Structure 1
Amino acid sequence: GFSKYVMVPVGSTAIWLLVTKGTYRTVERVLLLACIIYIGYVVSGIMAKPDWSLVFKRLIVPEVKTDPEYIMLTIAIIGTTITPWMQFYLQSSIAEKGIKKVDYGASKLDVILGCSITDIVSFFIIVTCATVLFPAGIRINEASEAALALGPFAGRFSSVIFAVSLANASLLGAIIVPLATAYYTCEAMGWEAGVNKTFKEAPQFMWIYTSIVIIASLLVLIPGAPLVTLMVLSSVVNGLILPFVLFYALRLANNRKLMGEYTNSRLFNIVAWATVSVIVILTVFMLLFLFVL
């Protein structure tokens, strides 16, 4: 493969130019095209030839454990699937696109469809790793090792597809996470924000984005850095923060003075509050196991 000391600077420069020199429409189209590559995870999952009867059995009746590591990884999976920063990015992107009331239904459908695809992709990633890596006792220290480990079990083609999908996911994250941070920081401080703005029009927004891209790139380039461990821990932190973000988001979404006829339905609220409750319960259990029991 290519050296990260070459690809990280190249990739970082490319996404920086895309966001700072391009328009929001251009960035959105690039992200949508990149999302197509996520199909690679589905292909890899199928090529791994899992025991589908066992997969669907565990999907309906999961094997629940109570040890701290299991609970922590459960929170991490939730935190990396329903990310706090994505809640901020969604509202910022809708504001930047200038969505009107007449477009609200289409935007809602867009979010629901995107979340559903995210869950499907996550499902196949878990299936692939559970089928290939777990039985062989393979522990992953770098993301690239996951792709390489697939080769002997699911074929070189599957390994390549998984690697390309990983690279694609990394680039998407490298674009969206700094953008989300720049958006909500500028909104909180009352500064101009937006991809359609120039450095002169929104200097704080552009410099926050630039700084995060540079810092993240330098961290990735540190020799021997435990990147997988850092990713898991950051996902756990996301999972711990998520209930607070969802709590206030749901309060706002159910405020009739603010939302009018577009407040959440009863069914939507039941699902949303149930999700918050489950995450809170898992968090309490994890903290009890780590610091009390």
Structure 2
Amino acid sequence: MSSRSAPISPACQMQAVITAFILKPNWGSVLYHTFIPSWPRGHNAWQSLVAVLGTTISPYLFFWQASQEVEEEKAMGRRMLISREGATKREILDRRIDVGAGTFFSNLVMYFIILTTALTLYPHNERNIESSRQVAEALQPLAGPFAATLYTVGLIGVGLLAIPILAGSSAYAFAETLAWKQGLDKPVRSARYFYGVISVSTLLGIAMLFVKISPIKALFGASVINGVLAPFLLVGILVVASDRKLMQRQPSPWLSRIVVGLTAAIMLIAAGAMFFL
């Protein structure tokens, strides 16, 4: 990811936060329903919940985060596997802060995106989103006639972050499964299959623009699939993180294991309710 794109995304993501405050909702009601939400009713409601969980705890993030930790250690000169085994308390703390801060702010932005669309689109019966134009209308209180332009700029900023992460995650997943040479630090010649997956993934994404597939529905469907698959991966991670031998006598703390276990259970229940209710 280019460092030039890094300042763009946070500024663009703040659009929804600013818009929510411009709309001046009843914050008492907002906070009440935030912490005491209503129980999902029917298949569609459960499916939406699974999609929200799936887009928050996406399987590709597991591959990306782990792979980037390795990339960073390689950049520090730890080229051999044995030199990367184990971690100091300081390194573990830094990673917790990194992941914790990223998780907090990404969910904060997602919360305000949901709130803003609920305050702008939902009251006008815009409940079947088919195009980016409809999404851009949620920013009209902030940008007025320039809402579409503002949304486009935001979309480009987020895309500069998302494209390498999504395509890169697929490449790392394939490479780890099929024992290919991998790493963004490697030249294309020595990791052809790895970079091939990145190229194909990017081209497939571009190709979707030229076929009659709704990008909104595709994103929603992908989030639902993520929500169904993620809890199984969480269970696998939980088993590995609890093994003292595999973790070099540095297993995950009990609190983390409890949180991960509860999260996996909630996601499994939501997925089950989506299928059977």
| TM-score after normalising by structure 1 | 0.83
39, 44, 49: which one aligns with 1:69? 44
Q: State the 1:154 CA deviation.
A: 4.7
Q: Determine the structure 2 residue equivalent to 1:8.
A: none
39, 56, 78: which one aligns with 2:31? 56
1:31 and 1:78 map into 2 onto residues whose CA distance is 27
DSSP 3-state at the match of 1:96: helix
Does residue 235 (structure 1) correspond to residue 258 (structure 2)? The answer is: no
Q: Determine the structure 2 residue equivalent to 1:11.
A: none
Q: 1:157 to 1:36 in 2, by over 3 A?
A: farther
Q: Determine the structure 1 residue equivalent to 2:120.
A: 132
DSSP 3-state at the match of 2:246: helix
Q: State the 1:123 CA deviation.
A: 0.4
1:120 and 1:93 map into 2 onto residues whose CA distance is 23
Q: State the 1:34 CA deviation.
A: 3.9
Matches within 5 A, 1:150-165: 150-151=139-140, 153-156=141-144, 159=147, 160-165=149-154
25, 36, 57: which one aligns with 2:10? 36
Does residue 180 (structure 1) correspond to residue 169 (structure 2)? The answer is: yes
- Structure 1 contact 243–280 (Cα < 8 Å) conserved: yes
Q: Determine the structure 2 residue equivalent to 1:218.
A: 207
Cα offsets for 1:246-265 (capped at 9, x unmatched): 11111111110021343221
Corresponding pairs, count:
261
1:34 and 1:196 map into 2 onto residues whose CA distance is 24
197, 200, 214: which one aligns with 2:189? 200
2:179 and 2:95 map into 1 onto residues whose CA distance is 25
User: Which amino acid in the other structure matches residue 59 of structure 2?
Assistant: P
User: Which amino acid in the other structure matches residue 29 of structure 1?
Assistant: S
| TM-score after normalising by structure 2 | 0.87
User: Which amino acid in the other structure matches residue 40 of structure 2?
Assistant: K
Query: Identity of aligned pairs, percent?
Result: 24
DSSP 3-state at the match of 2:223: helix
2:231 and 2:166 map into 1 onto residues whose CA distance is 19
DSSP 3-state at the match of 2:7: helix
Calculate the aligned-residue CA RMSD, in Å.
2.0
Q: 1:141 to 1:47 in 2, by over 3 A?
A: same
Q: State the 1:158 CA deviation.
A: 8.0
Does residue 282 (structure 1) correspond to residue 270 (structure 2)? The answer is: yes
- Structure 1 contact 50–128 (Cα < 8 Å) conserved: no
- Structure 2 contact 54–230 (Cα < 8 Å) conserved: yes
1:158 and 1:43 map into 2 onto residues whose CA distance is 15
Q: State the 1:157 CA deviation.
A: 7.5
Q: Determine the structure 1 residue equivalent to 2:234.
A: 246
- Structure 1 contact 50–127 (Cα < 8 Å) conserved: no
- Structure 2 contact 116–138 (Cα < 8 Å) conserved: no
Runs of 5+ in structure 1 lacking a partner?
1-26
